[in-house]
Structure 1
């Protein structure tokens, strides 16, 4: 069960910090709700179950490890899995963040995995292992840019990611001021002269891990003290006594102390922290003074460590990049004693430049996730990185003066939402598009939606709302500043008080009663017909629509006089039934498709009904003569209007409207039909246009329905059209709804560019998606737009359409949007273009209303 993250994590943290303020300690893989105090460190740990939605828990059989390393959570599913933590003190505070990993051959595969670890939207490091019995740790000092901390594991195909523990330690604000340059990734932390185990909490209040480095050669010796060590000149470092009470010094007066290391990456920039304290009892004639050199150049000195008082010498800026670093500590001429060093810290500057989502938006979206118990894979930051933006979410990335991303698009259509609209939505103050359609939402439409001043599209259709639509929403809709979609009309009192100008209320009432009676009658007839149909045995085309004889077909088509199309099924003829124009598709004897496809298309047209799917008028089954009669589309197919052979150039708004219409038809097949239906042959030729250029999806001979609603794919022979065919489907034979999404993405690219799916570039045939990438190489989206538009379009609208199309043709199906998201994205593009046109037509008096019928 999902819970409201902000409240739960805070309560968990407080519980876990009764004596450890600023600590959050998570043991991954222990039972949900379990807490314990570690016997060695006294640190209190909690289960990771309330910090992440996914994962499988495992145990490691060996008992020779710390308790936190004996369990783990692995993530065999999803590319990215994220822990989300909301500490009590968030944005602007400094934290030490540590992630622990212990493979221990938990999966009995004895294969060391390799995976990426992200801190928020930024890459932290790649986790690699040298041994199954060796633990690994990542540790970073980081100033939070958000109230939320996300630790994400990303599967790159080299083994299943896992994690053993996550630990957060809040640091004092004046510690490690070098975080002004960026985050500090810990390379090493050495406790010189000590041969004891690792020093950490409680010896170190901040739970830094200090590895012991005793003198291991005859040239050096360890010295210790039992006396206290004052912070002295290093009050902001707050070093533990157990670290500063030991040191290493050369045995020979003239021997230097050398420290060498090589960076893991050639671009690593280091910060060096060296800690000194005189812990020997010096005689009155003894002096310890030395200089510190870095790669042969004087770095600091001379220095005489203070008696039992810490002095820290550190980098003020990142050290210059070099293939190898050598720190040399030499005594000065005045010194009677060799140099000394107590402790060393090395950090790599880690710049984490990506912005996170605004905390207000994150609070809102987590509230929505919790209230509706959404099970979709919403993990980590909602907006960043773009590669992992949440399903159904789109964000504003373009405002360079903003310090965080804002959510501008939220599609929760067909998400199983129940109850009233969550007030958390009111906090998405920058939202432009909100789709709540096709759920089970109840109650009234809340007034707070009117307060979302940037809202341009609001879809409330397919719910169970009661009461009136807020007046302000209706006024925005009338003015054209909001595309508002809802069930019913003003005649059912959804829109408030009736217009006082109506002077025949009695007639209106009678008309309403008549409409209601008529509707109830139709519902009764349909239900009766459905019940009758269920009792019939379906052989051939026994579902009654309107059956025509072959002779009637010949009469309708004037003996097949006018051919208006041809495909693998056969030829299509123009005909008339009375005054109604129709199209007649006849199955030819040489058809490559045949009876099976004929049956598929006929049954589909009999069972589905949508304004963006071609409508069935009738059919013919007489011996070898088989035909389907459907509505006539006066303007033919989309393909004929996109290339130079067309005398009429579709403008940008028309192209977007056609794309939106056809996307809605496909959306209905995927999300409105139970079980879902995959078209399998989405292409420009199969998008037909009526006399008003309204687009309808056609040619359903290759459609396949999923055997159950729960099925995620079906295996089938590959079918489709080269250029439009999903390569993943072609290679795997696994048909999913995302196969149609790929094909529609190609359609959208063709609409945008005016180029065919397979186009010419530098004397070679390449796919349109590659051609678009080439055109976008210099960053100007206009290079990819059909030149016949002559620049008459909204650039932002085009850019969004191109981004949407390229997302549809992503290599991996999981990276593609759903058709719900595609529809909402296209509506967003359409709104931007129409807003441009309203400005362009500012000479008109009054504000022209948006045609709701064409957008709904």
Structure 2
């Protein structure tokens, strides 16, 4: 008896501990970030319904205004507490939230952004704006009404430690946001689908009566399951446990109900229309038989999508397992269709109608742009926090997209790696204190300007350990003590341009003004003197332009290349109001001269390598003229303002269309259009190699340097790295390797021997990208695969459909495709002598185009998106 009396309290204590552990496990929000936008700084709360803990958004963004929705809408649609407040962004084109989940990259997250207008601004006018995830377009936010909330949800595999959720003003109203929620998923959830890209939620259904949305805590990943009922259908319910063995199975409460036809011989028919004509769907169907069947009963059915048996991971027909979840899902992206019909139909021997418990529909979304290298990004966020920088609109990713690169930041874009920080200009930024030690992690920076601030202390030694640092400007601060020996040694050797004041600090002078500083041997510290050279060069350009115009006008040509003043350029660009892009040289702006649109490239005052490339491009554009090369309109050389004005290309670059960055059906390129564009580009390169004397090697052929005008005619651009080539056949020149990794000729990369075949190799890589729709470099956990190797592996299978871009849906001439693939592989041959010339490339591509046109002429006419191509234009390697 005494033993039993002692056992009872122990048992009670054990039960209490066990209950505590189970409750804690059920309420585990360690993988959650839950942000209520617009609540007061520092405030937190636990939602009464979901028990989710929410925090203010103040720590995740430094712009915007907070508002409450109009009280009338507080009870509309049974809205969540989180959507009663919001943050709007009347300033800046783009505003970004930055989150850094503790679990980091390599994990899958459910990311949800919520919006409710609620007439917060008393204007009664529903806005429309774009939502971006990182550097890439996610979706456009459109509101059906003032009271109805909108949830945008995506399942995304993180390639960076940072998540940026950005709102972009498109001129249709002020962007705003109500809540951001981040949910860490289990490692295997949706893995098969997310191997193809990210999954945007289209719909998620829990087939049950009622209107309550199932979410956390019933679903530990806080997926939103909308209850959906049809009057013409019957519903099965059970209170028994339904086994959900896998992490991506729906929660118990969802699987406890199922939809079935009213008629014993009926089928389940689910139809939907995609939001975008080019969307590829992934489908997840969840089944569990929640009835106890008798020995003479059988529930067996087939699943059809648009009339075809569903190609899932399990064989059909299928009998759902008693009180156990089985999930059928798309193993590949489903074919594009204007409408989808999902049919679940009983077999002839089945005695019971089919059922379905839950359904998930996702669309595939590609996010091709890589974010800034995490280590570099971490330094920039540390600098922003340490020095409380709030005047530069540093939001989102530092380097991408190009048009929103952070002010004062220079980036290196490498197709095989993440963008890296290579220059940092914080001159006159109000910095106080010492130099942030985090700058030691900017391991490939070549230019650092911290001048004219209030920095104090000693110059840190870690600056001498930055192996790529070539320019260091520290003047206009209050440093004391000697210059680190390593820095002084680099300055003495001429490998570092060092600028530091000689101020009275009570300590020995450590350095001096860059124009007077000498070492003990009397050698001046090297200072780049580019401004005067650039001015002289552009003056020479002016004389050359006049001479070229006179010479060309003798032949009856009307070439209007002229010099513009800086004030004229300001007028042309509407005071530089529309940015088309940014790069190491500076910024490209949209402009208008008369009735003609132009692009204006302005050289940044802090650009180093960009200045050299800028001059080279201006000089080259003055001397070459071809319909497939970008045309020079004019230039600016007004004191410190230098710019090139060239024709505007309305349809951007080739790569943006191949990877779907423009997000419009008309931007999708069919096979004929792709062949026409690469044929155009090949003609431009053929002219440079064979129509110019001396021949010119471009040295940076890639998809982003092939621009498309309003008629989708392709023109080569960006000649900053181009180089004239000796005319003797078979010769080469030795030069420093430049260009874009992934497109670089391996022989040129290893030997510095540049020939016209180096361009041929790069063009072959472009052709492979156009054919396959794949990036130049594919990364997985164990390997980095170049596109030429990827195609070579697939060639062994002998099926052209496994090589050509699946978005084309096999709509191409097989012979044309084989010829294009063989040509591309010949272009990327490792040995340059085995590569074709551009003359030969043009002829082969013309054959590909002819074959595809012949096929099109024999095809029955169908309604398609029509692009304006000049298919009958004649080409030759001579100037216009």
Indicate the TM-score class for this superposition, using the shorter chain for normalisation.
Answer: 0.5 to 0.7
Among 253, 256, 274, the alignment partner of 1:242 is: 253
Instruction: Indicate whether 1:222 and 2:68 are aligned.
Output: no
Q: Which residue of 1 aligns with 2:31?
A: 22
Task: For 1:782-797, list aligned pairs within 5 A.
Answer: none
Distance 1:129 1:90, change over 3 A: same
Q: Which residue of 2 aligns with 1:654?
A: none
Secondary structure of 1:302 counterpart: coil
Task: For 1:146-545, list aligned pairs within 5 A.
Answer: 146-177=160-191, 178-217=193-232, 220-232=233-245, 235-299=246-310, 301-375=316-390, 376-398=392-414, 400-402=415-417, 404-488=418-502, 493-494=509-510
Distance 1:730 1:753, change over 3 A: closer
Secondary structure of 2:353 counterpart: coil
Q: Is the 8 A contact 1:25 1:166 kept in 2?
A: yes
Secondary structure of 1:242 counterpart: helix
Q: Is the 8 A contact 1:117 1:151 kept in 2?
A: yes
Quote the offset at 1:122 in angstroms.
1.3
Q: Over the residues paired in the alignment, what is the CA RMSD in angstroms? A: 4.5
Q: Which residue of 2 aligns with 1:625?
A: none
Moved more, 440-449 or 723-732: 723-732
Quote the offset at 1:184 in angstroms.
0.9
Instruction: Indicate whether 1:41 and 2:57 are aligned.
Output: no
Quote the offset at 1:456 in angstroms.
1.6
Q: Matches of 1:499 and 1:346 in 2, distance apart?
A: 70
Among 76, 80, 98, the alignment partner of 1:66 is: 80
- Max Rg structure: 1
Distance 1:372 1:724, change over 3 A: closer
Moved more, 192-201 or 481-490: 481-490
Distance 1:105 1:362, change over 3 A: same
Q: Matches of 1:142 and 1:86 in 2, distance apart?
A: 14
Quote the offset at 1:477 in angstroms.
2.1
Quote the offset at 1:357 in angstroms.
1.0
Quote the offset at 1:264 in angstroms.
1.1
Q: Matches of 1:315 and 1:154 in 2, distance apart?
A: 33
Q: Matches of 2:447 and 2:735 in 1, distance apart?
A: 15
Q: Which residue of 1 aligns with 2:608?
A: none
**CA offsets, 1:243-300, max 9 Å, x none?**
0011111121221111111111121111111111111232221111111111111225
Q: Matches of 1:208 and 1:447 in 2, distance apart?
A: 51
Quote the offset at 1:79 in angstroms.
0.8
Quote the offset at 1:358 in angstroms.
1.2
Quote the offset at 1:489 in angstroms.
10
Instruction: Indicate whether 1:78 and 2:92 are aligned.
Output: yes
Q: Is the 8 A contact 1:258 1:328 kept in 2?
A: yes
**CA offsets, 1:786-827, max 9 Å, x none?**
x9997999978x99xx99xx9xxxxxxxxxxxxxxxxxx99x
Quote the offset at 1:156 in angstroms.
1.0
Q: Which residue of 2 aligns with 1:644?
A: 544
Q: Which residue of 2 aligns with 1:551?
A: none
- Structure 1, unaligned stretches of length 5 or more? 1-14, 503-610, 615-632, 648-682, 687-719, 733-737, 807-824, 827-832, 838-856
Q: Matches of 1:429 and 1:260 in 2, distance apart?
A: 54
Q: Is the 8 A contact 1:114 1:159 kept in 2?
A: yes
Quote the offset at 1:307 in angstroms.
1.0
Quote the offset at 1:379 in angstroms.
0.6
Q: Is the 8 A contact 1:54 1:81 kept in 2?
A: yes
Distance 1:499 1:231, change over 3 A: closer
Quote the offset at 1:447 in angstroms.
0.4
Instruction: Indicate whether 1:728 and 2:574 are aligned.
Output: yes
Secondary structure of 1:334 counterpart: coil
Q: Matches of 1:335 and 1:211 in 2, distance apart?
A: 30
Secondary structure of 1:303 counterpart: coil
Q: Is the 8 A contact 1:193 1:215 kept in 2?
A: no
Q: Matches of 1:21 and 1:636 in 2, distance apart?
A: 62
Q: Matches of 2:166 and 2:576 in 1, distance apart?
A: 32
Q: Matches of 1:315 and 1:836 in 2, distance apart?
A: 45
Secondary structure of 1:249 counterpart: strand
Q: Which residue of 2 aligns with 1:88?
A: 102
Q: Matches of 1:371 and 1:89 in 2, distance apart?
A: 24
Q: In the comparison of the two structures, how many residue pairs are matched? A: 587
Among 29, 44, 50, the alignment partner of 2:59 is: 50
Distance 1:501 1:237, change over 3 A: closer
Distance 1:453 1:271, change over 3 A: same
Q: Is the 8 A contact 1:772 1:784 kept in 2?
A: no
Quote the offset at 1:107 in angstroms.
0.5
Q: Is the 8 A contact 2:234 2:259 kept in 1?
A: yes
Secondary structure of 2:479 counterpart: coil
Distance 1:211 1:153, change over 3 A: same
Quote the offset at 1:481 in angstroms.
2.1
Q: Is the 8 A contact 1:329 1:339 kept in 2?
A: yes
Q: Is the 8 A contact 2:503 2:509 kept in 1?
A: yes
Q: Matches of 2:296 and 2:413 in 1, distance apart?
A: 67
TM-score (norm. length: structure 1): 0.62
Q: Which residue of 2 aligns with 1:771?
A: 646
**CA offsets, 1:35-94, max 9 Å, x none?**
001111111100001100001000012321211110000001011111111111011111
Q: Matches of 2:697 and 2:395 in 1, distance apart?
A: 36
Secondary structure of 2:384 counterpart: helix
Quote the offset at 1:214 in angstroms.
1.7
**CA offsets, 1:585-635, max 9 Å, x none?**
xxxxxxxxxxxxxxxxxxxxxxxxxx9999xxxxxxxxxxxxxxxxxx9x9
Q: Matches of 1:287 and 1:745 in 2, distance apart?
A: 75
Moved more, 468-477 or 21-30: 468-477
Q: Matches of 1:383 and 1:781 in 2, distance apart?
A: 30
Moved more, 450-459 or 743-752: 743-752
Secondary structure of 1:771 counterpart: strand
Q: Is the 8 A contact 2:204 2:225 kept in 1?
A: yes
Distance 1:781 1:396, change over 3 A: farther
Quote the offset at 1:640 in angstroms.
5.5
Quote the offset at 1:645 in angstroms.
8.7
TM-score (norm. length: structure 2): 0.60
Quote the offset at 1:301 in angstroms.
1.6
Q: Which residue of 1 aligns with 2:154?
A: 140
Q: Is the 8 A contact 1:193 1:221 kept in 2?
A: no
Distance 1:224 1:468, change over 3 A: same
Q: Is the 8 A contact 1:305 1:311 kept in 2?
A: yes
Quote the offset at 1:643 in angstroms.
2.1
Distance 1:322 1:685, change over 3 A: closer
Secondary structure of 1:728 counterpart: coil
Distance 1:395 1:789, change over 3 A: farther
Q: Is the 8 A contact 2:27 2:217 kept in 1?
A: no
Q: Which residue of 2 aligns with 1:579?
A: none
Task: For 1:839-850, list aligned pairs within 5 A.
Answer: none
Distance 1:301 1:119, change over 3 A: same
Q: Is the 8 A contact 1:193 1:214 kept in 2?
A: yes
Distance 1:795 1:452, change over 3 A: farther
